Structure 1
Amino acid sequence: MQKRQGELSTPAPAPTTAHPRRARTVGVGRAHAKTILVGEHAVVYGAPALALPVPQLAVTASAGWSAKALGEEGEVTLTMTGSPSRPVATQASDGLRLLTREFRTTHDIAEDLHLDVVLDCAIPPGRGLGSSAACARAVVLALADLFDREIGEQAVFDLVQSAENVAHGRASGVDATAVGAPGPLLFQQGRAQELPIGCEGLFIIADSGEVGRTKDAVALLRDRFGQQAGAREDFLARAGELTGAARRALAATRPEDLGPHLSAYHQLLRTAGLSTARIDTLVRAALDAGSLGAKITGGGLGGCMIALTRSDQAGAVTRRLHEAGAVQTWVLPLTTRA
């Protein structure tokens, strides 16, 4: 099948042999965070979304194997580094165990092996930054490295998506794609395209400290659509309009044209009941400090917000966000990309 212009290539997975090739005692895999610029929730219904990788927030998975002890139950042990208060969330761990089982079935990994996976994750969970998808991708790549398997991007995506569906319900696939993307992308209905960038600036991501609940947010919006005639159509039409406008603004040379589309999308999500008082406070603080636009990012009901600023505003905006209650912030450069 011919690849569409600008579409990210998806090489087919290489064939595997029937028996594990134990070339390594430890396999390593890595992935990074992502942020949704515009298109949250609408992307679940087939509308486009714009996503940016956040490479400074990363996860590394280390996988090893050992002979299963007599009477030992379970196929994999998952451990998260850091303090004891940061266990792997139940839904996330269920998804990781599922993809591990699928990996071993697909690649004929012997059943008498017990897998030990350690996750070193700098991506705060429940913040709309793709923590669960990034962990899943890192685990898949670590297993492929451990057992010396060549695995194509489509196979990686399918495994990550299976874990995401456990963690979040009906996952759009944008997180599973964006946590491995080398640059900004347009995602729609399972397809990703590189996103040309013609303007420069800085995005500041601020953590509200509230744990977002993507699964609950998706259910809340779905219920709202079911209760109000035409609500789904109106939401998707407005979301598509703003996403298209944001895409054109990104390709142009004026970041000030992009900012209002971000703020308008925040209002769309806020009207749908997906923001919180703390997120709204951070959005107002960013705008008052001179940001060109600001919005919630991710599923909502907590999590993070993102603000677009000029480079000479970044310090003032960051200070104002912390004064308004942000528990941590990160700077993400917006640079031209053909």
Structure 2
Amino acid sequence: MGISGVGTSTGKIILMGEHSAVYGEPSLVMPFPLVNCTVEIKKNNRDTNWIECANFKGAIADLPTQFVSTAYLIHLLINKFGLFHCIDIIIRSDIPLERGMGSSAGVGTAITRAFYDYMNIPLNQETLLNYVNQSEKIAHGNPSGMDAFATSSNQLVCFENRKFSTYLPLKMDSILIVAESGIKGNTHTAIKKVKYLVDHDKRSTEEKIKQLGNFTRYAKDSLINKDPINLGHYFNRAHSLLKELTISLPFIDDIIDTALSSGALGAKLTGGGLGGSIIALAKSKSDAEKIGNQLLEKGVRKVWQQPLDL
């Protein structure tokens, strides 16, 4: 056991495959290193386990209900290692909450890595994903596993049938713009809305879900072939279907239209929907600057530029 332990993670972005992945279709998910999380663990001299993060400072036992998945994971790991002394856990994360960027999985990944580092025990990927997905079940009910994989990876990942399929090369000479709308996403409600459509308009909805899966496959080919024009095209077509699945919002559609009218090759929502964030594809750095400035003028809270070259 060391004096302290440190764990890190990144955010994540779903390029393609929101919601259709729940029904067995493929999805493309990438780490988003422009936002990240660091967790430090060290022995303390208190009589209780202590946690510090942006929205709370105090005993782990007093964590508010919004942190239930974090508390659950911490207790799992304390019991796993049989810690009889008390510890401080300091969480520093700039992954935006409820914006489709994998905040809960990012924190879970960094906490798990920090515990194993503190104990000086090697941590393999399978064990890491197991712990993070246990906490994600508390946070989201029935997670696909995408967030856990992407926040702990440094490569673009393809999922199919809710399982890791393959890593993909990401060497495209273009810029992904990520814009945080300022509206909290609501994954639970979005999933319920799609499920309602599946139950009440089965044929039409299942056709949309299948088509989203096909667009994801075409987008995968576009990435492999380094073809940003086609990738942007499938961003647009995917967003049209996501709108039909009722998981977009007027402001999300407005900022997507702003990105497109400012020169984006394509744009779509990313994540669970009903708020959160959008992504847009720019051909060059100068185009990305122009698009980002227009989005900020439109009212988005923050914009990042991520080169598609991981």
Q: Same fold (TM over 0.5)?
A: yes
SS in 2 for 1:27: strand
Match in the other structure for 1:101? 75
Contact 1:207 1:328 (C-alpha < 8 Å) held by counterparts: yes
Q: Deviations over 1:17-72 (max 9, x none)?
A: xxxxxx32321100001100000111222221101211121110111234773xx6
Task: Pick from 31, 50, 54 the counterpart of residue 81 of structure 1.
Answer: 54
1:232, distance to aligned residue in structure 2 (A): 4.6
8 Å CA contact retained: 2:171, 2:308:
no
Aligned to 1:227: 200
Matching residue of 2:26:
48
Q: 1:116, 1:89 → 2: CA distance?
A: 14
Q: State whether residues 95 and 163 of structure 1, in contact with CA within 8 Å, keep that contact through their aligned partners in structure 2.
A: yes
- Shift in CA distance, 27/296, structure 1 to aligned 2, threshold 3 Å: same
| Identity value in percent | 29
Select 2:117's aligned residue among 145, 166, 169: 145
Partner residue in 2 for 1:303: 276
Amino acid at match of 1:55: P
**Deviation at residue 280 of structure 1 after TM alignment:** 0.7
Structure 2 distance, partners of 1:213, 1:323, is: 25
> Secondary structure of the residue that 1:170 maps to in structure 2?
coil
> Does 1:325 pair with 2:303?
no
User: What displacement does 1:176 show?
Assistant: 0.5
Asked if the contact 1:198/1:252 (under 8 Å) is kept, the reply is: no
Instruction: Return the letter of the residue paired with 1:43.
Output: A
The answer to whether the aligner puts 1:214 opposite 2:192 as a matched pair is no
Aligned pair partner of 2:147 in 175, 187, 190: 175
Counterpart AA for 2:214:
E
Q: Which residue of 2 aligns with 1:161?
A: 133
Matches of 2:9 and 2:45, distance apart in 1:
28
2:249 corresponds to: 276
1:29 and 1:138 in contact (8 A); partners too: yes
Separation of aligned partners in 2, 1:330 and 1:164: 26
Instruction: Output the CA distance in 2 between the equivalents of 1:232 and 1:66.
Output: 54
Q: Which runs of 4+ in 1 moved over 6 A?
A: none
Q: State the Cα RMSD in Å.
A: 2.1
TM-score, normalization by structure 2:
0.92
- Tell me the amino acid that sits aligned with residue 282 of structure 1: I
Residue 133, structure 1, aligned to residue 105, structure 2? yes
Residue 193 in 1 paired to residue 193 in 2? no
CA distance in 1, matches of 2:224, 2:186: 32
Rounded Cα–Cα distance in structure 2 between residues aligned with 1:224 and 1:180: 33
Cα deviation 1:165-187 (Å, max 9, x = unaligned): 11111110000100011121112
1: distance between equivalents of 2:260 and 2:127?
Answer: 42
Letter of the 2:126 counterpart? Q
Deviation at 1:83, TM superposition (A): 9.1
The residue identity in structure 2 corresponding to 1:158 is: N
Aligned with 1:58 (options 23, 36, 54): 36
Kindly report which structure 2 residues correspond to 1:257-296, keeping only aligned pairs within 5 A, or say none.
257-296=230-269
SS in 1 for 2:233: helix
Q: CA deviation at 1:101?
A: 2.4
Cα distance in structure 2, aligned partners of 1:303 and 1:133 = 16
Deviation at 1:192, TM superposition (A): 4.1
Residues 275-307 of structure 1: CA deviation (Å, up to 9, x unaligned) = 111111110000000100000000001100000
* Structure 1 equivalent of residue 15 of structure 2: 37
Number of equivalences: 304
Which structure's residues are more often strand, by fraction?
Answer: 2
- In the alignment, the residues of structure 1 paired with residue 108 and residue 274 of structure 2 have an alpha-carbon distance, to the nearest angstrom, of 23
Label 1:171 to 1:282 Cα distance change in 2 as closer, same or farther (>3 A).
same
| One-letter amino acid matched to 2:20 | A
Q: Which amino acid aligns with 1:302?
A: G
Q: Is the 8 A contact 1:51 1:185 kept in 2?
A: yes
